[in-house]
Amino acid sequence: RTLMPWGDYAFKSRLFQSLQRHTPALAHVPVPLPYPYVQGLDHVKYGDESGPGLAFGEVYLLGESRSDRGFFDYYLVAFVFKTPLGLQILGLWAVVRYARHRRRHQFARDELFLAAPALFFAVYFSFFFKAQIGLRYFLVVYPLLIVFVGSLLQDWPNVTRRARVACAALGCWIAVSNLSYFGHYLSYFNELVGERKNSYQILADSNLDWGQNVGYLTEYLQSHPATVYNPPDPRPGHFIIDANLLVGVIPHVQASWLRRFEPSGHLVYSYLIFDISPSDLTNRAAPPR
């Protein structure tokens, strides 16, 4: 629906509704963008205006979920845990190198166009953006970072052999780290997470699961008929549960009892597997925190 008239859009956000209401002269002017593109901007703004707990469920970070407000360090933590460590090291190296040789550079001409938007988005997402549901909103910063990292090899003839080897090694680390999640890149976490089944203790929501692995769940339940999916009450057995449901991103009071136990494994990072024995129930009868 490219070229749909501006007045025919049914917006949800207050911002876009206000823009439409205050521009009656543009009601019949066709918008030269696909309808889903404009709708997406409207939906993102609607979620931002609604805040945690309304448009997207609760905001979750480092074991804590909130429905009334977000976390100022949400995107910082997400960046640290979901950005390949090799890329983070290269970025830090580029910053240090630039600082040491800043007199050789013309910041206003060459780097300001990278630094200014990166700083703007970092501040905006940390302090003004309420829809803290996944690192995907912060992806706009990564091209700027990667271009800046390229400055390490800008003066190629004068790059030392040691620096070239270090860059190659870090590049290989980035590739191997990413490929280790082959087929499941949305759920990627770097090596700081430790055991991958514990990723849900750091971040959840679309950092882990966006409904992309339902087919794997169906196959697992068919091949493990004794498995109980999303158990509603405490009982011994073999269970599998949505990570987002377990941590409270999706409100589900009955599932909270499983938070007292450690998962024995995971299914494609989106679902957590528990093996609960009768003695486990007895030993951990205290209510969850």
* pLDDT, tens only, 172-181: 999 999 999 9
Contacts of range 173-181, beta carbons closer than 8 Å, 24 or more positions apart: 173/84, 173/85, 173/86, 174/84, 174/86, 174/87, 177/84, 177/85, 177/86, 178/84
Res 41 pLDDT > 70: yes
Q: Are strands 271-276 and 228-229 parallel, antiparallel or unpaired?
A: unpaired
What pLDDT, on the 0 to 100 scale, is given for residue 57? 67
Whether 238 contacts 275, CB under 8 Å: yes
Res 253 pLDDT > 70: no
What pLDDT, on the 0 to 100 scale, is given for residue 267? 93
Residue range 249-254: average pLDDT?
A: 69
* pLDDT, tens only, 62-107: 988 887 777 888 999 999 999 999 999 999 999 888 888 777 767 7
The residue assigned the tokens 């990570």 is: 243
| Prediction pTM value | 0.80
